[in-house]
Amino acid sequence: MLRLLTTRILLGILTLLAVSVLIFAATEILPGDVASAVLGQGATPETLKVFRAELGLDRPAYVRYFEWLGNVLQGDFGKSLTNKRDILKSITPRFQNTLFLAGFAALIAVPLSVGLGILAAINEGKWIDRVANIVSLATISVPEFFIAYVLILFFAVQLAWFPSLATVYAGMPVLTKMYITALPAVTLTMLVAAHMLRMTRSSVLSIMSQPYIEMAFLKGLSRSRVILRHALPNAAAPIIAVIALNLAYLIVGVVVIEKVFNYPGIGQFMVDGVTKRDLPVVQACGLVFAGAFIILNTTADVLSILVNPRLRKPTMGK
């Protein structure tokens, strides 16, 4: 088991290393010129040449990659090209804001979706199950920005219950921050809850055809008791996996939501970096997003191994 867990963690590290190469390469092939974007169209060719040399853009890409990776491993993401500020200091509060928004949405989405998924499985074929399927399918089919604008239209413009812009700052009371971020949190909840609900329902129902489940029914146990006591523990692994994937999406998929609600998170910070051709900012944000996604997926693999003994059998047999 220890070897299996170690393998999963090492694969996560290697994946993050491979992603760092892709991030650096992707920012290198972005159209446009960094020096021209920073200095403006009025810059002379001599000025552009000197500025490129100052940025180290005259060196080979592989040399700059290894230098960047070495600095990142030491906790140095470099400085922004536009304002010369330390990127780590700029990105930390924004990442904390993103984690707060993702955590707020997860606090609503996880118990709601798992509970409704179990309820739909218990009432398979009944009206509760049908309504849950219709609502989840409709939510999955609608783009996230459309859901955000509809919520703004009804709850911010017409009813004036919540603000349309989720502007937060350091030191803001938690309850006030939850009120201001209610609309973006509900938008994210609607996006991820549908996936988790459907996976919970399908995972539980896939276990229902097993022989030990039939034996439980023959003993006279009710459907709800069979699902909660016998089916759900064995369906936990795929449920944990899809929850981890959607929690990862809550962190890495907030770019559009943060832009719509003008939320000062890392997603909006990355969009601003792309707009200004601030490559160190884009690289840092991309690496943070990738790290969060890989960590959550690796955590899901580890938890799946721990809760499902069948995943440990091949290693135990050796």
Q: What is the DSSP string of 62-124?
A: HHHHHHHHHHHHTT---B-TTT--BHHHHHHHHHHHHHHHHHHHHHHHHHHHHHHHHHHHHTT
Instruction: Tell me how many degrees the CA angle 287-293-299 measures, rounded to the nearest 5.
Output: 130
The C-alpha angle 101, 105, 107, rounded to 5 degrees, equals 115
pLDDT computed for residue 312 by the predictor = 56
Residue pLDDT, tens place only, 94-103: 888 888 888 8
pLDDT of residue 62: 79
> In 262-308, which ranges are continuous DSSP H helix?
266-275, 279-307
- Smallest CA-to-CA distance from 87 within 97, 78, 96 is with 78
Helix (H) or strand (E) holding 197: helix 182-207
Residue 240 to residues 82, 106, 120, 121, 310, Cα–Cα distance (Å): 42, 13, 18, 17, 15
| CATH number for the domain running over 90-276 | 1.10.3720.10
Q: Which residues pair with 86 in a beta bridge?
A: 79
What are the boundaries of each domain within the chain? 90-276
Q: What pLDDT does 33 receive?
A: 63
Q: What are phi and psi of 137, to 5 degrees?
A: -65, -40
Lowest mean pLDDT among 181-190, 211-220, 308-317: 308-317
**pLDDT > 50? residue 170:** yes
- Inform me whether the pLDDT recorded for 309 exceeds 60: no
* Confidence (pTM): 0.77
What is the mean predicted confidence (pLDDT) over 155-176?
Answer: 84
Mean pLDDT for the chain overall: 78
Phi, psi of 3 (to 5 degrees): -65, -40
Q: Quote the pLDDT of residue 317.
A: 41
Least confident of 54-63, 105-114, 164-173, 280-289: 54-63
Contact criterion met (CB below 8 Å) for 111 and 196: no
Q: What average pLDDT does the segment 148-170 reach? A: 85
Q: Give the tokens for residue 67.
A: 């230098």
pLDDT at position 315 is 45
Region 180-186: what's the mean pLDDT? 89
Distance (Å, rounded) from C-alpha 276 to C-alpha 259? 15
Structure tokens at 127: 């009206």
Burial of 299 (0-12, 13-18, 19+ CB in 10 A): middle
Kindly state the tokens that stand for 1.
């088991």
Q: What is the residue type of 142?
A: V
Is the pLDDT assigned to residue 84 strictly greater than 70?
A: yes
Phi, psi of 86, deg, nearest 5: -65, 125
Higher pLDDT, 152 or 216: 152
In Å, how far from its chain's centre is CA 76? 23
> What pLDDT shows up at residue 316?
42
Long-range interactions of 37-44: CB distance < 8 A, separation 24+: 37/276, 37/277, 38/81, 38/82, 38/276, 38/277
Model pLDDT for residues 250-308, shown as the tens digit of each residue: 777 778 888 888 888 888 888 888 777 778 888 888 888 888 888 877 777 777 666 66
> Measured between alpha carbons, how far is residue 8 from residues 82, 290, 301, 305, 310 in Å?
39, 16, 7, 10, 16
Q: What is d(CA 208, CA 134) in angstroms, rounded to the nearest whole number?
A: 22
